[in-house]
Amino acid sequence: MTLDITGLKVSIGGKEVLRGVDLTLQEGRVHGLAGESGSGKTMTGLAVLGLLPHGSRTSGSITLGGRELLTMPPAELNKVRGGEVAMVFQDPATSLHPMLTIGRQLTEHMRHHLGLGKREARARAVELLGKVRIPGAEEAVGRYPHQFSGGMRQRIAIAVALACSPRVLIADEPTTALDVTVQAGVLRLLRGLCDELGLAVLLVTHDLGVMSAVADEVSVMKDGLVVETGPRGRVLREPSHPYTRSLLDSLPDAQIDEGGR
């Protein structure tokens, strides 16, 4: 299923934070979104989910398989969010409830959205934990988030996001809080899920290395606008916008090669 964002504008408190964003997410493709702090990456993701801060004003269009999300009635949008469109955040604590077992968090979601019975939901929870490679999934469903390492918590947050078989996954800096060794596993997982399940993934990351490893297409944002979009290899190797070039030039590698630490 394709997600199309066209001419998306968002203002919060009179300030225009998105000034006409165009982005297309396609089935089985990872679309990477880069850009400096405050450029509007997170706001773009939140707009898709209908989770913008109170009092935000929106115009333009976001369509999912032909349906307009921006004007959708709240009840219907609620079904889309957490159903067809799911999200993973930088800090797994944002997605996981500390006082509930992870089995509960997975199954409640499914029972609510998919109307599954208790037993069915549990079986699917175990299957999902296996898919995100949590060892001993049968036993793990009875444990609480703090009993897992940071990398495992992020895998579990991804499992929760996948619970209702979404078609679109928005991942906002999903590996920024993780060790590189753990990040490698989560990136492989995301790529695998995208290929295997045909997910359309929006991967927000400031890390151009991460972008290069998993994204098929790359877009770069600046001041509420997408300034460049293209295939990963082209954007990272032959950027056409000066801002993209300046991002690449500011990488530690580039700085160190110039002899300045």
Partner 1 sequence: MSLLTIDDLVVEHRSPGRPVVRAVAGASLEVRAGEVVGLVGESGCGKSTLARAVCGLNPITSGGISFEGEAVTPLGLRRRRLTGIQMVFQDPYASLNPRRRVGDQIADGLRTSGDTTTRPADLLERVGLPRDFERRHPHEFSGGQRQRIAIARALAARPRLLIGDEPISALDASAQAQVATLMRDLAVESGAGLLFISHDLSVVRLIADRIAVMYLGRIVESGDTAEVWANPRHPYTRALLEAIPAPDGLGVLPAELPGDVPDPADPPAGCRFHPRCPHVMDVCRVKDPTFGPVACWLHADDGPSAPAAAGRPEKA
Ligand X SMILES: Nc1ncnc2c1ncn2[C@@H]1O[C@H](COP(=O)(O)OP(=O)(O)OP(=O)(O)O)[C@@H](O)[C@H]1O
**Contacts with ligand X in 206-245 (CB under 6 A)?**
206
**55, two tokens:** 């009092």
What letter represents residue 55's amino acid? G
Q: Looking at beta carbons only, is 35 or 166 nearer to partner 1?
A: 35
Q: Is 260 helix (H, G, I), strand (E, B) or coil?
A: coil
Among 40-48, 108-116, 137-145, 247-255, which window interacts with Mg ion (CB under 5 A)? 40-48
Strand partners, 63: 4, 68
What is the Cα–Cα distance from 157 to 190, expressed in whole angstroms?
12
Q: Is 38 in the site for ligand X (CB under 6 A)?
A: yes
Could you say which of 113, 157, 160, 173 contacts partner 1 (CB under 8 A)? 173
Q: Looking at beta carbons only, is 1 or 225 nearer to ligand X?
A: 225
**Contacts with ligand X in 86-145 (CB under 6 A)?**
none
Q: Is 171 in the site for partner 1 (CB under 8 A)?
A: no
- Convert residues 196-235 into a mask of x (bound to partner 1 by CB under 8 A) and - (unbound): ---------xxxxxxxxxx-x---------------xxxx
Q: Is 105 in the site for Mg ion (CB under 5 A)?
A: no
**102, two tokens:** 């992870």
What letter represents residue 87's amino acid? M
CB of 115 to partner 1, least distance (A): 36
Q: How far is CA 82 from the centre of its chain?
A: 12
What is the b/e burial string over 56-86, where b = at least 16 CB atoms within 10 angstroms of the residue's CB? bebebebebeeeebbebeeeebeebbbbbbb
CB of 43 to ligand X, least distance (A): 3
What is the b/e burial string over 3-41, where b = at least 16 CB atoms within 10 angstroms of the residue's CB? bbbeebbbbeeeeebbeebebebbeebbbbbbbbeebbb
- Partner whose binding site includes residue 160, from Mg ion, partner 1, ligand X, none (CB under 5 to 8 Å by kind): none
- Convert residues 56-95 into a mask of x (bound to ligand X by CB under 6 A) and - (unbound): ----------------------------------------
Closest by CA position to 64, among listed 162, 216, 200, 163: 200
| Residues in contact with Mg ion by the rule CB under 5 A | 42
| Residues in contact with ligand X by the rule CB under 6 A | 12-13, 17, 35, 37-43, 53, 206
